A and B are shown apart, each in its own frame.
Chain A
Amino acid sequence: MVRKILEIKNLKKHYDSGFDLGVDHLGLDENRIMVLIGPNGSGKSTLIKLINLLEQPDSGEIVFDGSNVLYSGKAACDLRKNMSAVFQDPFLFNMSVYNNIIIGLKLRHIKVGQKKEIFDYLIEKLNIEHLLLRNPGSLSGGEQQRVALARALVLEPRLLLLDEPLANIDQLSREDLRSDLFGILKDTERSAIYVTHDRNEAMIIADDIAVINSGKIEQTGPKNDVFRRPSNEFVAKFVGVETLLEGTVLENKNNVCSVGINRTEIYAVSDFRTGQNVTVAIRPEDVVLFSEGTDLSGSSALNFFRGTVIELQDVGLFKKVELDCGFRLVSFVTANSVDRLGLQKGKVVNSSVKASSIHLLKR
């Protein structure tokens, strides 16, 4: 059986600002990375502080590694020693980089020699070997955060808490640090909670995802479950579903539903019953575009839509294409495909989506 490192039950906390946090249930298995994702002000950092015992909840319980968390000073301090946290700001102390990295060891009365292996590994992986004698004030934001990460990781905590550690770093350093950090997390098999509002980051690093909104956990589960089968429209939008259409199940044959939307039928693999109102969720990367006249006899897709391009927009490495197919359908394609298909506003193209890629939400 998998060991639970953390379990939260019915946790409630009211703030004077009027914000309420209420987490019915959240669990993290050992050696897994959970990404806590949600918009700004949704309570991500607040939840991290509660887990880190930096704040006390009004009610509910936190079970850490099998034992209930107590909030008396000494017990909380002892328990906190099993965790370490990195926040958005590096919060380095006014001492050398080396002393900053080992400060947690000193506080725990652990000899640096005992952690030499992990120390050497971290300063090499995080590329901070040459900074050890420097004053944190003289480092760039990215370098400071590398030091803060080393300081937390050298403790080899049972649970690592990372509260948007890359949020305040410029784009270029961020990508470098992200790949270094994610490499370390995988290498060292840490149990970690990683807070972010960047779903690409979540997609790369997460084993599990918890989506939080207005102080409540909207959905939690393995990454692919949450990304492929969001439980409601908020989660769907947050994990990158671009097309959400309201319709009614017209028929269900062997778990293939036909959903009526305007005058179109959309097929989706699902167990909804005839007559149920649903929302159809389609991820943009699942919508395949092709030019008219393409031979489709080999395609296994059930859904074919013909539509007019109404919008073309750059979104990072992809182009976002909006089609009017009697409903709005969004697809992500490569710049290459845009050229090949000659996509431009007003152009009529065909698209297909597999029934198994379409997810239905209860409405």
Chain B
Amino acid sequence: MELIWDGIKQAVILLFSGSREVYEILLLTVRVSGIAVVVSMIIGMPAGLAIGLNRFKGRKFIVAVINTGMGLPPVAAGLFVSVLLWRSGPLGFLGIMYTPSAMIIAQVLIAAPIITGVTLAAVQQINPGLKLQALSLGASRIQVLWLLAREAKLPALAAIMAGFGGVISEVGAVMMVGGNIKNQTRVLTTATVQYVRMGELSLAIALVIILLILAFAVNLVLTLVQQKENRTWSGRFWR
């Protein structure tokens, strides 16, 4: 019990004492996971929308691949990116192994299928009659996509939350491709692993608490946006 209490105290001290190391770890975590989620959204949302709304040959296979991707073990993503970026690997010339860029690539590999899959599921919930109605009102293909994306807007926020949750908590892949290098590629999760190994349990607890606060803050903002959307859209007018 005392251990946990010490950890909480340590977390407060670390947060408010202005420890440079902790801030660097926190900032890198936000930067890597934030960029990874944004990139995954750019890839996953249009992909989920397109696959969810269209019927084509091989669609079931693609959906199965995405569903598998949603459960992709982070170590597999890490290994895959490592092989690619290894000095003698196909993308070794980029020289980005053990850099934040490599960590972002690995996290995109984890988050993009999640965001695609959740978007896909959300789009499939839309009444198929709405697509027909949109077309019959004279909507072009792009306009149909826009109208239906609008319908899936609220569930899509859930996709972002799921994607962010997937990468912020992830340790295997970033450890493998980032290397947990102090001041360079150390993020909250890898630092926690490091401190546990060193026996610095209260420091580890402090970092986990910071991680939880960060995850909670991001999800709180997204939830507020989602609930607000739900309440106020009806008042908005186009002129």
Residue numbers of A with Cβ under 8 A of B are: 49, 52, 54, 73-74, 77, 80-81, 83-85, 87, 89, 91, 93-96, 98-99, 102-104, 106-108, 112, 133-135, 151-152, 155, 161
A108 to B132 alpha-carbon distance, docked (Å)? 16
Most buried by A among B133, B150, B153: B133
In the docked arrangement, what's the CA distance between A301 and B135, Å? 55
Interface locus among B31-39, B140-148, B162-170: B140-148
Bound form: Cα–Cα A338–B138 in Å: 54
A106 and B141 alpha carbons, distance in the complex (Å): 15
Point out the residues of chain A lying under 8 angstroms from B58, CB to CB.
none
* Contact (Cβ within 8 A) A87 B141: no
Contact between A73 and B235 (Cβ–Cβ < 8 Å)? no
B 115-152 to A, binary, CB cutoff 8 A, 1 in contact else 0: 00000000000010110111111111101000100110
Identify B138's interface contact among A107, A133, A134, CB under 8 A: A107
Residues of A within 8 A of B153 (CB): 94
> Can you list 18 A-B contacts (CB < 8 A)?
A54-B135, A80-B135, A83-B138, A85-B133, A91-B127, A91-B132, A93-B150, A95-B236, A96-B233, A103-B147, A104-B138, A107-B134, A112-B238, A135-B233, A135-B234, A151-B137, A152-B137, A155-B138
In the assembled complex, the CB of B106 is this many whole angstroms from the nearest CB of chain A, namely 36
B138 touches A99 (CB 8 A): no
Given contacts A89-B129, A91-B127, contact A77 B136 (CB under 8 A): no
Bound Cα distance from A117 to B141, whole angstroms: 30
A54 touches B236 (CB 8 A): no
Could you say which of B139, B143, B236 contacts A99, with CB atoms under 8 Å apart? B236
Q: Contact between A94 and B233 (Cβ–Cβ < 8 Å)? A: yes
B230 smallest CB distance to A (angstroms) = 10
Task: Return chain B residues, CB-CB under 8 Å to A81.
Answer: 138
Neighbouring A residues of B57 by C-beta, 8 Å: none
Which A residues touch B235, using CB under 8 A? 96, 133
Residues of chain A within 8 A (CB-CB) of B139 are 77, 107
Give the size category of B's interface with A. Answer: 20 to 34
Cα A54 to Cα B129 with chains together (Å): 11
Contacts A81-B138, A84-B138, A107-B143: A99 and B237 contacting too (C-beta < 8 A)? yes
Q: Decide: A95 and B137 in contact? CB cutoff 8 A.
A: no
**Contact B137–A104 (Cβ < 8 Å):** yes
Query: What 15 new A-B contacts, CB under 8 Å, besides A89-B127, A94-B150, A161-B136?
Result: A77-B139, A80-B135, A83-B136, A91-B129, A95-B236, A96-B236, A96-B237, A99-B237, A107-B137, A107-B138, A107-B140, A112-B239, A135-B233, A151-B137, A155-B137
Known: A91-B133, A93-B147. A134 touches B234 (CB 8 A): yes
Complex Cα distance, B147 from A91, in Å, reads: 12
Q: Contacts A95-B233, A107-B138 known; A54 to B132 CB distance under 8 Å?
A: yes
What's the minimum C-beta distance from B157 to chain A, rounded to whole angstroms? 14
Complex: how many Å from CA A57 to CA B134? 20
Q: Give CA–CA (A108, B235) in the complex, Å.
A: 23
Write the nearest CB–CB distance from A71 to chain B, whole angstroms: 13
Say which residue of A77, A98, A103 sits within 8 Å of B140 (CB atoms).
A77
